[in-house]
Structure 1
C-alpha cells in the first residue's frame, strides 16, 4: 500500500493532466469521453480530463443498475459540472438494449458462465456506446482502469472497459487512486464506497468476486515483482498470493497483444 507521506499528489496530478492534453493535441481531437459508474476510478479519471480544459463528456450507462451506484454517479457529475465549465453529461439507458440482446441469444445450462458472459456483454455494450459518443463529437474514449486491474489480475472485460483509446491512471495502484482522488476532492460517498464493477445488477463488490481486497492485491503484485514465491508465505498471505498468481496467469490474454500467426516468407 502506497505511503501517503511520499506520494506527491500535486506533481502526479499535473503530470497526468499535461499527458492527457499533449496526447489530445497531438492526436488532433477535440476532447474526452468517460464512462461514469459511481466508482472512484471513473470519478478520478473524469476529474483529470476536466482539468485539461478540453471538453469532457461524462456518460452514465445504466443496465439494471443498483440505485446506490446511480446516485453516486449523479453526485459526481453534478459536482464536476459545477467545478468545470467544460464538463457536460449524457445518460444512455442501455437496459432495453441489453434486454433485447438477451431475447435474441440462447441461455446456457452452465449458470456461472452464463452470468459471467452477460456481465461482460454489459461492459461491451457500454464500450460501444462510449465510442458512439466519441465518434459524433471527435473525442477520445478514456480508460478508467488502475494498475492492479489492468496489469495485475486482469480485472476488466476484454473489448469492454478494456476497449479504450488511452489510460491515464493505469500506472496508479488502487491506494494511489484513493490518495489522488482525495486530493482532487472526489465526493466522500465515492471515496468510501466499496469498489464494484456493477456488472451483475447487484451490490457485490470486487472483493466478493476476486476473494481479496485491493490492498492485499497490491501487496501480492509487489511481492511478484520482487520475485517472491508461494513458499515464502503462509496463512492469509499465501492465500492472497495464490489468488493473485492464478488471476495474473489466466488473464494474460487480456494484458498481452493479440497473438498473430506469422507466415514464413518462403510460404508467400
Structure 2
C-alpha cells in the first residue's frame, strides 16, 4: 500500500530557519555546533543541520565529507568513530563534533528542526542505508517538529521505507556543472527537474535561492507544495526570496 506523504508541520513556515544553526565564528559559534544550536533556540529560530555518517554508523552533525575546512584535522569523517569525532574540536569554537542524538536532546522540540542528510553515495545514486537507518533510530520517539531532506532522492526514498513518521523533502537546485563538477551531466539534467518528488513521498522542497524561478519550483508551488529556500544572506535577498518561497533558511544577518 502506498502511504500518503506526511505534511510539513506549519511551524516550519512560521519562523525563519537558521542555516547550520545560528553560527557566528566571531562569537565562538561554528556552524552545526552546540553553541550555534543553543543560540538559535534562544532567538526562537528554526534550525537546519547537516548529517554525515561516522565509522561506527552514527549520524554526526557536520556538513563536509572531510574534516579539513571545519576543524584542525584532515581526512574523511567516515574514517573516525563517533567517540573520536566528539574529540575533534571545531575551529573557532571549544567543542567537538556532536552526534545527532545529542542535538535532539538539546533541541527537545523547542523549535522546528530541519535535517539534511548529506549524500553518501558520492554521485546521488542508490548506495544508501546506514545513514538513513541511523537517522530513523535517533528520531524514534522524538516528539518535536522535525523534517528530513536530502539532495539524493534515493536517500529520501530509503528513509521513507523505514516508515519514520515525519515529513520528508528534497533539497534542490539547478545542478549546474560549476556547483557539481563531479556529477555526470545526465544526472544533473535529471535532478534539476525534481522528477522524484512524488516517488519518494516528499511533502516539501528546499531550493537554491538563485534558482527560485525554476519551472520545476513553479509547478510544485502551484500544486500547494511548501517551498523553503537556501541560503539567504541579507535582508534584501530575503525580500526577493519571499516573493516565491514560503520560508527561508538564512545565515550571516538577523532575519
TM tier relative to shorter chain:
under 0.3
State the structure with more CA Rg: 1
TM-score normalised by the chain length of structure 1:
0.27
The structure carrying a bigger strand percent of its residues is: 2
TM-score normalised by the chain length of structure 2:
0.28
The structure carrying a bigger helix percent of its residues is: 1
